[in-house]
Structures are given as C-alpha cells and as structure tokens.
Structure 1
Amino acid sequence: MVAFLLSRLKSFRQIVHQEHNQKEKMLLILIFGAFGIISNYTGIEINNGAIVSQTWQADVDYDAAIANTRIMGVAIGGLLGGPIVGLGVGLIAGLHRLTLGGFTAEACAISTILAGLITGLLGRRFGIIGRNRSPWGAVAVGILMEIIQMGVILLTARPFEAASHLVEVIAIPMITINGLGTLIFIMIIQSILMEEERTRALQTHNALQIAQQTLPFFRQGLNFHSCGEAAKIILQATKADAISITDKKQVLAHAGAASDHHQPGQNMATLLTKKVIENGKILIARSTEEIQCYRENCPLQAAIVVPLQVRDETVGSLKLYFEDAEKLDQVEQELAEGLSKLFSTQLELAEAERQQKLLKDAEVKALQAQVHPHFLFNAINTISSLVRTDAQKARKLLIQLGVFFRSNLQGARHLLIPLEKEIEHVEAYLSLEQARFPGKYEVEFDIEPQLNHVLIPPFTLQPLVENAIRHAFSNRKQGNVKVTAYMNRDKMMLTTEDNGKGIPADLIQSLGKESVRSEEGTGTALWNIRKRIQEIYGMEGSFMIQSEQDSGTKVTMTLPLTQNKWSENDV
C-alpha cells in the first residue's frame, strides 16, 4: 500500500529518476524512516511462540518480541538512496524499535542499522534497483537482511532459549513475507521507471514526427506560408485548441480556436507573447487574465508560449493555446519545449543554408560578372581601328559590346535565363572575336525553336565557346564549333562540339570536377558550370566532357525543361 501511494506522488517519482542531492536524500530518509516506524507500530507481538497482540504496538512486554516489516523499508531505502540514506533510515527505524521494548529490542535495533548501511553500500556498488535490473537482486538482498537479523537475535538476545524459540517461529514467515513485499515494492518502482520511459519515448516520437513534417516549411524561414502550413500540422498532432506562430512583430499563422481575432498579418494580440519575445524564456498562462488578450470574450483559457531562437537570438514564438486549462498538462509543456528546440534548430539550419546559398551565389555572380581583361582591351582596340576605316562596322561592334556587357549583368542578377539570351551572349562575344580574327573559325548554331524560352543557368554556353576558341584552335589555322540544343523526352540536351586538338587524357578525368593546373588554363569555368548545374538541378541535371587527342572535344549538358517566369525589368 505504501509503495503504491508513494508511486503516485510526483516528488517521489522524480526522486526515483534523478541523482540524489542532499535535499532528496533527506526526503528519502524521512519517507523510509516513517515506513520503519509504521512497521514497528503495526507489527505482531509474540510471546513464547504465541500471538499476544495484533493491535497498535506502543509498548512491548519484556518477555515478548515484534514480528514486522521494518527491515523491508530499511533495505529498499538503502538500495534507492545509497549508504547515507540507508544508515539514516536504519537509525530512525532501529532507535524507534529500541524505545518499544522487549527482549529483542537491542538486537533488532543493531540489525536494522546494519541492514541500512549494508544495503546502501550494495545499492551504491552494484546499482541493484534500475529499469533494466531484475527485481530478484533486491529480493535477495531483502532476504539476506532478514537472515542477518535472525542471526543478530540469536547472538545478542537473552535468554538464548527464548531467542532460539522466537527465531524458530518467525524466521520463515518474516523472510518470506519481507521478500515478497520487497519484490512488490521494487516492481512498482520499476514500473514507474518504465512508465516514465514510455512516456518520454512517445513524446520524443511525437515531437520528431511533427519536426519531420514541418521541416520542409521551417527550412523556408519564418513567413506566412511556411508558418501557416506548420501551424496546421502542429494543431493536428497535439491536444492544443489553437496554434500560433509569430516573428518579432506580427502573427504569421494562427490555426484553430479564436481565429476570428488572432489573424495572420496582425500585430501580436497578447502581451504574453511580447514578454517571451523580449525575454527569450518560456511562459505559461493558466487564465485569460494571464494571456492578456485584448478581446474580452476570447475563448482561450490557457497557453504555453515558447521562443524560437536562431543563434541565441529570439526571432519569433510558438504558442499552444487551450480552451480548458486542464489540457495544459506536463506532457504538453514538455512537448512544447521540445518542439521549440527542434524548430529553433530547423530555423538555424535554414539560416545557415540561406547564408551558404548567398555565399555561393556571390561567388558565382562574381565569376559571372568578370570580363577577361585582354578580351575587353582587344575589343576596344579593334573597334578603335575600325572607326576610321569602317565606321558602320565599328558601330555594330559597339552595339555587340553593349549586348555582351548587358548579358554579363543579366547573368550576375539571375539564377536562370532563357536559352535565347545565352545565345545572344555567345553571338555578341563571337562578333567581337571574329572581327579580330576574320575567317579563323566558324560557329554553327542548331537550336530547336521551342527551346528558346527554356531557362538555363547563365554563362554556360559562352565559356564553352570561349574555351574552344582560345584553346582548341591555338595551333590551327581554322576551326569549327557547333552549338546544339534539342529535346530528349523531358530533358534538353545542350552541346558544344569543336574539331580542335582535344584534351590530354591525363586531364580529362579532372576537368569540370576541380581546378587543374595546365599551361593553357585552370579549368575553373568548366568546374563552375558543373557545380551550378549540380546545385540547381541535383540529379536531374548532368555535365559530361568527351574528348580525344587531335579529334576535338564535346561537352554535353542535360537540363530539365523549365520555363518559369523571367523578367528583364530589374536589369
């Protein structure tokens, strides 16, 4: 009965789970010391092998003794709390037994103190009580302590004949009943541990499920759409009557009860939320007055508000509202706290991904915005020389130079551009190069018309054509480059092919995968193109280089067909 009642006490359940500090050890000593005192009072008085009294044992005759469950409480206290608790419980129960009298009073007091100390040492050394421990170890210890008590009675109680006769009568019943009592007590304690473990497992499972379902949305950051979807998921997975998510200034989402006045886009409706944003600490309200909603008839009666943090800075809040304060129990509080940590982690990862993407975009755009200085100087020199001899051609080249720079700007400001814009960039580059080296090479375009508006990463074709012109034909009088775009099922195949000198076999495996050192370049352009295709399209895109010495090089890009909206207004 005592074990069952103790198992219902929240404080005792916490003590069972935690490492014991001085305060908890004192509490255990008081609990099991009281258990020992009650056992003394409720024992059975025995005189000459016969039951004398089964009532409250406040005073025992000198010739009598008490059969009770005192050792059980002392042993369990020692096993739970260690030697300090065991000794403390043993002293309380043993000294109290001494005050009741009887010819075994001294022997029982000594055996009780010894039992407390020994079980405490055994509990500390072997960890006999635990969720993964068999209860029979504790039962064996309890039985051993009773046997020790019988031995102490035989050694110290006098007259010996009376002590021997008493042990003969009470030994087997007391050892059996105390062993059975210890088993029941330990099983109840273990059930507490297992129950709490199952509860935590369910909470963790629930929290992880919610986190998994909301991850795609929180990775987008805190916005109306992502928070709206996340709030719906959380509402379905918890006992809350309403879920609200805010940033620092306004409500981003509200699902459930009180949606008529807790609406997305509005300023925060409760002072409770403002306090959480300011302090970064969890707050709990169990009344409408504590919530402090501006609407008098608001049905929300309780709430737990947890901060959402990114790198220790509060960026928003998650609120679980309840129409009945009784629903806001410990389970919901722990779940809310767990979700707060998980969502904060998700937001941190989203921010890290965003910063990484910005950094990559900055790197890519820096590369895209670069113009080869020799190309620029050569283009200006070519145009200057034509101003007097062929003004019309010089004018056309200036226009093409403008188109080239415009394409650079477009590439620096857009992740994707239409194929036709990339072709314009290539043509502008070619017109300027061909003006310097007339008749040295020919470039042919074979583009299926329906692909002109398909979006591709900028600076994918132009660097490939430039590579062919600068490297493939360096030792040749004339060369050919062919640019092809055609559909293959749901993909676009984009190729550049030249009949140049090809790429050495020792470099072909590294080109496009990393920067390489060679007399003719580093391969950075190819690496940049491959990297962007992987980051933008993932497994749906590919980049392949095929080349043979003295037979030319072919670069093939496989891209999914995308025709998203694109605008030049910001250029």
Structure 2
Amino acid sequence: MNFFALLQMGFGLQVSFTDSIVNVLMLSLASMTIIQTFRYYHPNPSQFWIILLLGLVFSILFNIAAKLVLQAILKDNSEYIRFLNESTFLRGTFALLMVEWMIILNLLWNMLKQEIKQRNMLEETMVLAREAELYKLRQQLQPHFLFNSLNSINALVGSKPEEARKMIEQLSTFLRSTINRKEDDLVPLTEEMEQIDRYLEIEKLRFGHRLNTNISIGENCDKALLPPLLLQPVVENAIKFGLYDTLEDVTISIETECMEGFLQVTVSNPFDPTSTVSRKGTGFGLTAVQRRLYLLFGRQDLLLVHPEENNYITTIKIPQTNV
C-alpha cells in the first residue's frame, strides 16, 4: 500500500514505513527474478497465456511473501493485521498488475535487443558478402591482364630479350602494388594514375609505337579519392577495342575532372564503325567495374558507355565527400 495512504488511514509512521519498505523490497525481488528468468527463457509473443500464467504465479508468490513478512514484523498490531487480511484481494490485484507490467516491459526489452542483434548480424553478413564479391571481382580481372602480359613476354624473349626483361620488371611492380590492399581503402587519384602509367608502359611494350596516350588531370583533383584499380579494366577495354581491329596508330585519351560531389573520369578510344566488330554488352571488365561501383556506392548510374562520332566514350563518376 502507499505510504501516505496508510498515514491518512490513521496508521502510525512506523507501520506505514514498514509496510511500504516490505512491499518495495518484495517488488524489487520479483523484478530481479523476472529479469533473470527472461534472460534464459524467451516465450513466443503468440503464447500470451504463458505470460499471463507467469504473471499470476509471480503475483501470488509476491503477495504471499509480503503478507508473511508483514505479519511476522507487525504481529502485535492487531488493527493492522486485520487491515492486512481485508486488503489481501486489493494487494493481490495491485501485485498482479505490477508483475504483468514488469513482464511485458522485460519481454519488449528482450525483443528489442534480439531485433538489434539480428539486424547487426544481418549487416555483418551483408558486409562480408559484399567484401567477398568485391574481392572476387578483382581476382577475376587480374588473370586476363596477366595472361596477355605473359604471352607478350614469351613473344619478346627470343627476339627482344631486353624489352622482355623490362616488361617483367614493370609487370612485377604493377602486381606488387595490387597486393594486400583492402577493397574499402580509397586511394588518391594521383596514386591510381601512377598505377595506370605502369599499366600503360606494359601495354606500350606489347603494341609498340601503335599505342599512344593522352592523359589530362583536371584542376582541384589532388584530394579526389577512388577505389583502387578501378580504371585499369576501363583502360584495358579501350585498348582492346581501339587497337585489336586496326594496324594503325591509336591514341587512348584519359581525362579527369572534379565537379561538385564527383570525380569524373572519361576514357575514349577511336573506332571505325565500318570495320569494328559490333560490341555485345560492355564486356566483363566494364560489367565488373559497374558492379564494384554499385557495391561501394549503391548506385547504378555511375558508369556510362556510348559512341560519339568515331570515338567510344566510357565515363565513370565517383562520389566524393571531400572535394
């Protein structure tokens, strides 16, 4: 019963205080018991009858324990003992409401924690799956370039051993820089372009004077960031469709521009619509780049490929947060 209500009913300060303290202690004990119980037992929310039954059991035990303790402490106060017996139903109803309320709160709290835990597990699983797919995409891109380079080295060993040795050194430098890099690590544009320069040096040894490049870095792009090795498949794709169907000299252009919120990289290669075999899709390299961009930034519109007069244009937009 409420401390002030007992005082208003004429009971003394000691009796009112004792009654309140005992009920608070018993209620605290019931709360601790409920919390410990539902740490290990999580009933299905549809099993509402179990919740009611548990509440009824706890309230009965709570009421009996409180009554026994109060009778033992205040046994000499006959007026209070009579009042205690007459208010048994009221106390039991109050105890039932309090216990049921504590059980419901505890169940809701446990359900919330379980939902948060499951959500965190789902997010961790999605992150692991995303990282695994990104790693797989990068690993699939490397063998294609590596096989072409090794074939070129094999062709140069007999006729031009010095160029073959130089190509092996450049290939080693290029591959070394791709090892032990996490997919989530963004690299500066300058570092990525250094990697592109290494790649182009290897390709120039393969194609000789036929391959020319024109690289233009836009202003205010010093702090621009992008995923590592994102541009190499795009440049490789441009070389493939720019040189494979012609014996003439070809210039591959790479232009970067920093605009509000984006780093835009444009790679273009010339092609002859009358002699070039029609492209079916964008090829695995560009498909992998588009998939990487989607996994990293959640957007499908960051890679655009289109012909323009006698040039094939590939445009990549990389979202920026510090440019």
Counterpart in the other structure of 1:526: 286
What one-letter code is carried by the residue in structure 2 that aligns with 1:405? L
Counterpart in the other structure of 1:557: 316
Partner of 2:306, secondary structure, is: strand
CA deviation vs aligned residue, 1:507-529 (integer Å, no higher than 9, x gap): 4xx43xxxxxxxxxxx1111110
Partner of 1:475, secondary structure, is: coil
Work out whether 1:376 is the aligned partner of 2:150. yes
Partner of 2:272, secondary structure, is: coil
Superposed CA RMSD in Å reads 3.7
Counterpart in the other structure of 2:238: 468
Would you say the 8 A contact 2:153–2:164 is kept in 1? no
User: How far did residue 538 of structure 1 move?
Assistant: 2.3
Partner of 1:458, secondary structure, is: coil
State the structure with bigger RCO (CA 8 A, min sep 6), 1 or 2: 2
Could you tell me how far apart the structure 1 residues matched to 2:312 and 2:224 are?
A: 25
Correspondent of 2:228 among 458, 461, 478: 458
Partner of 2:298, secondary structure, is: helix
Could you tell me how far apart the structure 2 residues matched to 1:421 and 1:444 are?
A: 18
What one-letter code is carried by the residue in structure 1 that aligns with 2:297? Y
Work out whether 1:287 is the aligned partner of 2:29. yes
Work out whether 1:500 is the aligned partner of 2:274. no
Work out whether 1:484 is the aligned partner of 2:255. yes
User: Cα 1:424–1:349, aligned 2, differ >3 Å: closer, same or farther?
Assistant: same
Would you say the 8 A contact 2:239–2:269 is kept in 1? no
Would you say the 8 A contact 2:134–2:292 is kept in 1? no
Correspondent of 2:115 among 323, 337, 342: 342
CA deviation vs aligned residue, 1:151-208 (integer Å, no higher than 9, x gap): xxxxxxxxxxxxxxxxxxxxxxxxxxxxxxxxxxxxxxxxxxxxxxxxxxxxxxxxxx
Could you tell me how far apart the structure 2 residues matched to 1:363 and 1:308 are?
A: 42
CA deviation vs aligned residue, 1:100-140 (integer Å, no higher than 9, x gap): xxxxxxxxxxxxxxxxxxxxxxxxxxxxxxxxxxxxxxxxx
Would you say the 8 A contact 2:219–2:257 is kept in 1? no
CA deviation vs aligned residue, 1:11-62 (integer Å, no higher than 9, x gap): xxxxxxxxxxxxxxxxxxxxxxxxxxxxxxxxxxxxxxxxxxxxxxxxxxxx
Relative to the length of structure 1, the TM-score reads 0.36
Partner of 1:355, secondary structure, is: helix
Would you say the 8 A contact 1:379–1:432 is kept in 2? no
User: How far did residue 290 of structure 1 move?
Assistant: 6.2
More helix by share: 2
Could you tell me how far apart the structure 2 residues matched to 1:360 and 1:536 are?
A: 11
Could you tell me how far apart the structure 1 residues matched to 2:196 and 2:240 are?
A: 14
Could you tell me how far apart the structure 2 residues matched to 1:541 and 1:308 are?
A: 49
Correspondent of 2:303 among 513, 527, 543: 543
Partner of 2:244, secondary structure, is: coil
Alignment identity in percent? 19
Correspondent of 1:433 among 169, 184, 203: 203
Unaligned runs of 5+ in 1: 1-284, 292-300, 310-324, 512-522, 565-571
Counterpart in the other structure of 2:214: 444
User: How far did residue 426 of structure 1 move?
Assistant: 2.0
Unaligned runs of 5+ in 2: 1-26, 43-94
For structure 1, which segment, 435-444 or 413-422, has the greater mean C-alpha deviation from structure 2 after superposition? Answer: 413-422
Could you tell me how far apart the structure 1 residues matched to 2:237 and 2:35 are?
A: 68
User: How far did residue 288 of structure 1 move?
Assistant: 10
Would you say the 8 A contact 2:262–2:320 is kept in 1? yes
What one-letter code is carried by the residue in structure 1 that aligns with 2:243? F
